[in-house]
Amino acid sequence: MQGTGDLDQAIIEEEIAANICLQNGWLSDAAVLINNIGFYTAGPTKAIEAEKRLLYALDLLKRDPYLHTEAAIYDSLGYVYSIKGLQSQAEKLLTKSVKLFEVFSDKSQLIGSLIHLSQLYDRMRRWKQARSEAERALQLATEINSESLCTEARNQLESIEAIILKHLDRPRFFHGFLYLSNHMDKVISQLKKIAVTEEVVLLLGETGTGKELAARAIHDESRRRNKHFVPFNCSALSRDLVESRLFGHTRGAFTGADRDQKGVIRAASSGTIFLDEIGDLSLEAQGALLRFLQTGEIQPVGASTPFKIDVRVIAATNRDLRQEVEVGRFRRDLYYRLNIATLLLPPLRFRREDISALACYFAGLYSKQYGLPAVELSRSELAGLSLYDWPGNVRELEGIIKRRVLFGPEALLLEMAHTRSLLSWRKLRDAEKRKLLFEVLERNEGNVSATARQLGLSRRAVQKILQRIKADVS
């Protein structure tokens, strides 16, 4: 009856069943039925009546304890308190129900509690938290392939996204960066501090996170802003030619050297040289670079004496240089010299608040650039984009939005169907899981709950992994 929409008759039948359970002393079963009645009769005009029923159900469980049913009643009572405007009590109960359903690994019930928690945060005008809970609910509903729960979670997420885009999110711009997230706020703050110094900078981050953009921003914020900014990709040339291109060469230094070449470091004199993919430099070139960083002198290939040059160095890589040092592919002394003013650019999956803002910005930018009518991304499109893990980061997002502008909504739907959920925790090896877990914990400053949400795990699962790692070490 409930499924066909005859809710009033369903409640009557449940009341009859609840009375039978009470007469026979089946108190936990009665509590389940009374919880259902309380939840489905809840509303602005019947909140007090629903609350009484739910408190009675909790009282029954004191005589016949059953923790899973208790969690369900916490969820229902939290929902009722949310309707009544008792926000702190509602948040406490809903958070408790979420934690319990995580312990039971009951994803269906967990999704319901997350949606109720999202709705509560919506009423409290804590929209970013509301979005986070709705995103998690939709992710879990997708995992268990529940169409009805997916629809409910998606509707909640789309509603929150619309509110955020209209009232809350005002993207900030900084030298080409567009962002809303706290992650990027901290990165930009660190970038500004680094820029006013003359220290060598090391930029770390996955492909597509904006390392060259950050390098240009550092240059533009420094005292060298009116001088040359010279980018150089260390992986673009063969090992034999890299040192010559970096430091220059004299005429006749090697076959084909028919004239003097000053090199990119000298071309950046008084300005900034950006050495991208520095992890790809040969060990010989690394040694020459280290000498330059320590002495401020370069010696062109074929020259007999070095000479001083004033240039600031910014280096970048998407490699783990500590691991490269351990396997002998990167000089330890050069790593120590570079690893001072280090800036880590977070991947897009760790700054999900920025995805919708970036997508809307790119849609507007390329609509205008291509001379096409302005494209407005739908709520469902934004919700889908926010759930994807973006292994190619902002560069990948930009490319997908370009195709969306050119070919319409179908292009985006097709693209997301091919690329959804690339990051599958279960498919990772143990070493990869540990590495990813520590990276996410570090980004979240040790916050286990936030880490669990971003990995698609329960808080309890993350704690178990950490306990296991600790036991292995000891």
* Rounded mean pLDDT, 276-294: 90
Top mean pLDDT of 176-185, 339-348, 384-393 is at: 339-348
Lowest mean pLDDT among 129-143, 264-278, 407-421: 407-421
CB 122 within 8 A of CB 130: yes
pLDDT bracket for residue 395 (50, 70, 90): very high
Model confidence at 252: pLDDT above 90: no
> Which pLDDT score is estimated for 228?
94
Read off the pLDDT of each residue in 29-41 and give the average, rounded to a whole number.
75
Q: Which is higher by pLDDT, 45 or 123?
A: 123
Note the pLDDT of residue 359.
93
Q: Per-residue pLDDT for 396 more than 50?
A: yes
Question: What is the spatial distance between Cα 157 and Cα 378, in angstroms, rounded to a whole number?
Answer: 12
User: What residue ranges do the domains of the chain occupy?
Assistant: 7-168, 177-344, 348-419, 425-473
Q: Which residues pair with 229 in a beta bridge?
A: 272
pLDDT digits (tens, 9 = 90+) for 424-436: 455 556 665 676 6
Residue 418 has pLDDT above 50, yes or no: no
Q: For residue 348, give both structure tokens.
A: 């897009």
96-125 mean pLDDT: 86
The proportion of the chain whose per-residue pLDDT surpasses 70, expressed as a percent, equals 84
245, 267, 304, 309 from 301: Cα distances, Å: 9, 16, 9, 16
Confidence tier at 414 by pLDDT (50, 70, 90)? low
Mean pLDDT of the chain, nearest integer: 82
Check if the beta carbon of residue 34 is closer than 8 Å to that of residue 54. Answer: yes
> Measured between alpha carbons, how far is residue 370 from residues 240, 376, 403 in Å?
42, 15, 11
Query: Per-residue pLDDT averaged across 339-352, rounded?
Result: 92
CA separation for the pair 329, 321 (Å, rounded):
9
User: What is the architecture of the domain spanning 7-168?
Assistant: Alpha Horseshoe (1.25)
| Letter string b/e over residues 168-200, b meaning 16 or more CB atoms within 10 A of that residue's CB | ebeeeebeebbbbbebbeebbeebeebbeeeeb
What's the whole-number mean pLDDT along residues 12-28? Answer: 81
Q: Model confidence over 147-166: pLDDT tens digits? A: 888 888 888 888 887 777 66
Tell if the pTM clears 0.75, that is, is over it. no
Share of the chain above pLDDT 90, in %: 29
End-to-end distance of the chain based on CA atoms, in angstroms?
A: 57
Q: Which residue has the higher pLDDT, 389 or 367?
A: 367
Q: What angle do CA 243, 245, 249 make, to 5 degrees?
A: 80
Residue 384 pLDDT greater than 80, yes or no: no
Task: Give the angle subtended at the CA of 41 by the CAs of 40 and 44, to the nearest 5°.
Answer: 115
Per-residue confidence band for 232, with pLDDT thresholds at 50, 70 and 90 = very high
Q: State residue 421's pLDDT score.
A: 36
Phi, psi of 316 (to 5 degrees): -145, 150
CA-based nearest residue to 358, from 391, 402, 318 = 402
Using 50, 70 and 90 to split pLDDT, how confident is the model at 240? low
Confidence class for position 473, pLDDT limits 50, 70, 90: low
Give me the phi and psi of 202, to 5 degrees please: -115, 120
User: In terms of pLDDT, which residue wins out, 455 or 130?
Assistant: 130
What is the mean predicted confidence (pLDDT) over 228-257? 75
- Higher-confidence residue of 64 and 286: namely 286
CATH architecture of 348-419: Orthogonal Bundle (1.10)
Segment 195-225, tens digit of pLDDT: 999 999 999 999 999 999 999 999 999 999 9
> What confidence category does residue 371 fall into, taking pLDDT thresholds of 50, 70 and 90?
very high
Q: Read off the pLDDT of each residue in 105-121 and give the average, rounded to a whole number.
A: 87
Confidence of residue 420 (pLDDT cuts 50, 70, 90): very low
pLDDT at 192: 95
Highest mean pLDDT among 234-243, 245-254, 406-415: 406-415
CATH 3.50.50.60 fits 177-344, yes or no: no
- Residues 352 and 346: their CA atoms lie apart, in Å, by 11
Token pair belonging to 54: 């739910």
414 compared with 24, residue with greater pLDDT: 24
Mode of pairing for the β-strands spanning 297-298 and 307-308:
antiparallel
Q: State how beta strands 201-204 and 229-233 pair.
A: unpaired
Confidence of residue 440 (pLDDT cuts 50, 70, 90): low
Which H or E run contains 466? Answer: helix 459-473
Sequential DSSP letters for 66-111 = -HHHHHHHHHHHHHHHHHHT-HHHHHHHHHHHHHHHHHHT-HHHHH
